[in-house]
A and B are shown apart, each in its own frame.
Chain A
Amino acid sequence: MDESQLIARVRAGDSAAERALYDAHVDRVYRLAFRLAGDDALAQDFTQETFIRAFDRLGSFRGDAAFSTWLHTITTTVVLNGLRKVKRFRQREADIDDAHDIGVAQRHAEPDLKVRLKQAIENLPEGYRTVFLMHDVEGYTHEEIGVALGVETGTSKAQLSRARAKLRVALADFAGEWVQ
């Protein structure tokens, strides 16, 4: 059964088809949510919200684009909006802590690549970070990213280029590893 038939069955109220459609796409949705959120509970929450919205709005899916593209538009909307809310909440918590606990000085004292890479990616502007993670880490095309984020393909490419440039500067201490 192809995907359009599956979607038609879901629209007709077939719960087995719902599960089949979910199974076909959940891995990619969850992976993207996890990459962006970095937290399993949040990633699960965002994934669930994505599918709840998708099933509710399936009537508005006209099939002009691939179902996966439409689904990833919902995913990025849910995740980015959710992360903004969480960030706002965590910022309040951070404001309570002493400033030296979250100081930037630790970045320079930390020689571990994993930690430095994490800091560098999280210091990227939201748009750059999203495009970098979708393209370089999760393998989305610029066309898919453009549709999901509602930007031109050229914008996606430009943001990726700038993201890489910023990361290259931030990770200059590790240049020996990639020059080899």
Chain B
Amino acid sequence: MMQDQEDPKFEQWLQDAARTTYHAPRTTPRDEMWNKIVAARRNKRVIELRPWLRWAVAAAAVLVLGIGIGRWSTTRTPGPRVANEIDSLASVAYQIAATQYLSRTEAFLTSFRADANRSTNTARLARQARDLLTTTQLMLDSPAADNPRLRSLLEDLELVLMQISLLNPVQDGHDRDLITQGMNQSNVLPKLRSAIPAGPVPVRTEGAL
């Protein structure tokens, strides 16, 4: 085939052109990245010291969001009728943890979108987004994400939080607008709000996640 014929001159020209012009990397920011790696691993170890938390969040998501999502889900599978007292107690704990996470995320994104005059410090926003992103990714890795609608919501949240966590202080005005437009386009906040069960936010669990 003509298309597959080799042309050493073209290949050499292409390699030279691509190496020098296409996404040419700058000097590796070694120390900057290393410091972040060390901090992230330290933070991860703290979470891993509490393995129950991971499954608590996952189970809570299934239990709580299964009810909450019912408002925007067309099908609803009846839950098992077998529930003993231990399960009931555990589910309450899980419900509190998951509701706390969703409520914090909803509050954060609402304030982000409403902050039209850019009064909130970019570094602070990015830090808050990273904290929530960690929990979101834990939930995505858990059985909670087996629910397609919940998974879709979590993936939407992950994208938004990732973008906010990467905000550049120098040109964040335009980036913030793009993120806000994306949030509006994908209806993240309405979906998130409808997934939060009605009732007061369990403020006493502040920091549990």
- Which residues in A have some Cβ–Cβ distance to B below 8 Å? 19, 22-23, 26-27, 30-31, 34-38, 40-45, 47-48, 51-52, 55-56, 85-86, 88-89, 92-93, 95-96, 113-114, 117-118, 121, 132-133, 136-137, 161-162, 164-165, 167-169, 171, 177-179
Residue B52 at the A interface, CB < 8 A? no
Chain B 150-164, CB within 8 Å of chain A: the 1/0 string?
000001001110110
A137 touches B28 (CB 8 A): no
A136 contacts across to B, CB distance below 8 A: 11, 14-15, 18
Query: How far does the alpha carbon of A161 sit from the alpha carbon of B2 in the complex, in Å?
Result: 11
Whether B9 is near chain A, meaning CB under 8 Å from some CB there, is yes
Contacts of A88 in B (CB 8 A): 159
Q: Is the CB of B18 within 8 A of A41?
A: no
In the assembled complex, 26 residue pairs joining A and B whose CB atoms fall closer than 8 Å, in A order, are: A22-B34, A30-B29, A30-B33, A34-B25, A34-B26, A36-B23, A44-B29, A47-B33, A48-B33, A48-B36, A48-B40, A86-B162, A89-B159, A89-B163, A92-B185, A93-B185, A113-B21, A114-B21, A117-B18, A136-B15, A164-B10, A168-B14, A177-B13, A178-B7, A178-B9, A178-B12
Residue from the list B6, B37, B182 in contact with A22, Cβ < 8 A: B37
Contacts of B158 in A (CB 8 A): 85
Any A CB within 8 A of the CB of B82:
no
Number of residues in B with C-beta < 8 Å to the partner?
43
Give the CA-CA distance A95 to B181 in the complex, in Å: 10
Residues of B close to A132: CB separation below 8 A: 18
Which B residues contact A (CB, under 8 angstroms)? 3-4, 6-7, 9-15, 17-19, 21-23, 25-26, 28-30, 32-34, 36-37, 40-41, 44, 155, 158-160, 162-163, 166, 168, 178, 181-182, 185-186
Q: Given that A52-B44, A117-B17 are known contacts, is A137 also in contact with B32, CB under 8 Å in the complex? A: no
